[in-house]
Amino acid sequence: MSGGVDSSVAAALLKEEGYNLIGITMKTWGYDDFPLKDSGCCSLEAIYNARNVATKLGIPHYTFDFTERFNETVIDNFIKEYMAGHTPNPCVLCNKTIKWGVLLDRAKELGADFIATGHYARVNKDESTGRYFISNSHDSNKDQTYALWQVSQEGLGMTLFPLGEYTKPETRKMAEKLGLKTAHEPDSQEICFVPNNDYRELLEIRMPGIKEKLDKGDIIYKDKKVGTHKGFPYYTIGQRRGINVSAGKPLYVTKIDSENNKIFVDDVEGLFNRSFIAKDINLMKYEKLSGPMRANVKIRYKDIGSPAIIEQISDTEINVAFDEPKKSITPGQSAVFYEDNDVIGGGIIT
């Protein structure tokens, strides 16, 4: 229970269905570390909201402190990825290591049969193979399957998504009808542990002096130095603003060289590529891909997806070849493969 409307309504729906519920809120970052973060997911305000909803529903509520584990896995990885010139997606890793990691372990210790969340997604099972997979929710605007591709088979087998058949407006109406305080809570649009929604601030908190150390690195255009930048971690593929190079036309970041503190820029055409390799794959619908297959591939959360051929080239890697060139394929982001509405699996773009 994050304190938001989605998990609140999910709990209410399950209570109506007769489930015996325990409400859990996770504390995942230290308030002393980020004193300016006083709202949003996992904040003190969110914990109080979740507790109020649990009290109204008549269910016990607990707050579990996973700060150390979250710091070791999600935050450390976030910083490591940016320092490698990548653009990470911490919500994907949090789902794997925290929600369907330490929380799942704690749920089993408590004797729970399932964990349930307010995600907009659906869990299905192929009875012929026994494999679980997730499918798109009823609300295409709020669908969250992209961020769930790393959940294990064990985790999926113990998961309920009560909101998978509803739209967000329907969820808010149900919250109003139930008289829940969270009915009109705004959606969280930021990363929970990033101060002021600016990851650069987090890097500077965790790595004092980084700004001065990496300032004035080279900007390369067509093999020539055309300016200096503020430090490679402060840029991402496809970025246009903040480059400050006069070329008489828009230039975009197309490559980041973390070892030499260089960023490469190009015309918009330089942002397009046809293929990439995804590593650290997790397959859901199939245990293994026996050969090339067609899929719709998303390379970022709000991506509608593009047709491609995917082929498993090792136990941990899949090659993706788009039918048409794709813009801003970004190392560190997740690539998620769909067969119609079903998630085949996903991987990290290299």
Every domain of the chain and the residues it spans:
5-197, 213-266, 271-349
For domain 271-349, give its CATH number from 2.40.30.10, 1.10.10.10, 3.40.640.10, 3.10.50.40: 2.40.30.10
Q: Which residue has the higher pLDDT, 323 or 187?
A: 323
Question: Mean pLDDT, to the nearest integer, of 66-83?
Answer: 94
Look up 192 and say whether it is catalytic: yes
Type of residue found at 57: L
Least confident of 77-86, 134-143, 181-190, 339-348: 181-190
User: For residues 116 and 159, is the Cβ–Cβ distance under 8 A?
Assistant: yes
Q: How far apart are CA 127 and CA 267, in angstroms?
A: 50
**pLDDT the model gives residue 41:** 60
Least confident of 208-217, 306-315, 335-344: 208-217
The DSSP H or E segment spanning 67 is helix 67-70
Least confident of 118-127, 198-207, 300-309: 198-207
For domain 213-266, give its CATH number from 1.10.3470, 1.25.10, 2.30.30, 3.40.50: 2.30.30
Question: Mean pLDDT, to the nearest integer, of 143-151?
Answer: 97
User: For residues 1 and 61, is the Cβ–Cβ distance under 8 A?
Assistant: yes
- pLDDT reading at 172 higher than 80: yes
What pLDDT, in 10s, does the model give residues 316-330? 999 999 999 999 999
- pLDDT reading at 106 higher than 80: yes
- pLDDT reading at 170 higher than 70: yes
**pLDDT the model gives residue 178:** 87
DSSP 4: S
Those residues whose C-beta lies under 8 Å from the C-beta of residue 326, and which sit 6 or more positions away, are 272, 273, 274, 299, 306
User: For residues 187 and 46, is the Cβ–Cβ distance under 8 A?
Assistant: no
**pLDDT the model gives residue 31:** 59
pLDDT band for 189, please (50, 70, 90 cuts). low
- Matching fold, domains 5-197 and 271-349: no
**pLDDT the model gives residue 36:** 47
What pLDDT, in 10s, does the model give residues 266-286? 999 999 999 999 999 999 999
Q: How far apart are CA 189 and CA 330, in angstroms?
A: 20
* Residue in the structure block whose two tokens are 């973060």: 37
pLDDT band for 29, please (50, 70, 90 cuts). confident
Q: Which of 41, 42, 91, 192 is catalytic?
A: 192
Helices (H), 163-294: 168-178, 199-206, 210-214
**pLDDT the model gives residue 228:** 94
pTM of this prediction?
Answer: 0.93
Tell me which residue of 249, 265, 268 sits closest to 217, measured CA to CA: 265
The β-bridge relationship of strands 159-160 and 115-116 is: parallel
Question: 5-197 domain in CATH 3.40.50.620?
Answer: yes
**pLDDT the model gives residue 179:** 87
What pLDDT, in 10s, does the model give residues 215-266? 999 999 999 999 999 999 999 999 998 898 888 889 999 999 999 999 999 9
DSSP 187: P
- The H helix count followed by the E strand count for the chain is 10, 16
Percentage with pLDDT > 70 across the chain:
96
Q: How far apart are CA 172 and CA 142, in angstroms?
A: 13
User: For residues 263 and 275, is the Cβ–Cβ distance under 8 A?
Assistant: no
Helices (H), 164-291: 168-178, 199-206, 210-214
Look up 41 and say whether it is catalytic: no
Q: How far apart are CA 147 and CA 337, in angstroms?
A: 12
- pLDDT reading at 100 higher than 50: yes
* Residue in the structure block whose two tokens are 């801003």: 328
